[in-house]
Structure 1
Amino acid sequence: MDDLILSIVKPIVGHPDEVRVERDEQESGTLYRLIIHPDDAGMVIGKKGRTAKAIRTVVYAAAGVHGHKKIRLEIAE
C-alpha cells in the first residue's frame, strides 16, 4: 500500500524526495500517514480537498480489493 500511495503522490509534488509514508498498525485497522514538504500541501490537498479525497478513494478501494482490514490515510506536513 505504501508503494501505491507514493506512486500517486510523488508525480504531483514539487519536492518528491521529501515524500514518505509511515504506517501505524492498530487493533481497529491501519493508519497511513503521508508526510510531505509544507510547500506541497496545496498540491496534495487540491481545491476544496478534491485531490486528497481522490487519493483516499483509490487507496481505500485498493485496500478493499486486497482484503485489508480498515485503513485510514492522514496527510501531514
Structure 2
Amino acid sequence: MLEITAFTRAHDYGEHFKAFYGPTIAARANAEKNDLAEKFDVALEAFCDRWNRGTDEQARFEAEYLLAVGTKG
C-alpha cells in the first residue's frame, strides 16, 4: 500500500488530479461541456473528504497497487 501525504488539505488531492491526471481532466472537461462542472467538483471534494485518512491539518490517502514482473522466455 502506498501512503500519499503530499497534500495539506484533502481537497488539494482532488485539485491535483483535476490539473495533472488525464482521466480526471477528461471527465471534468466532459462535465463542463454538459454544464455539470459544479456537480463534478462537489463529488470530487466529497470523495476526498470520504477517503482522507489524515487530519484537517495534514491529509493522508492510501492507494493500493499491483506490481507485476515478467520475464522474456
TM-score normalised by L of structure 2? 0.35
Task: Flag the structure with higher strand content.
Answer: 1
By relative contact order (CA 8 Å, sep 6+), the higher-ranking structure is 2
Larger Rg: 2
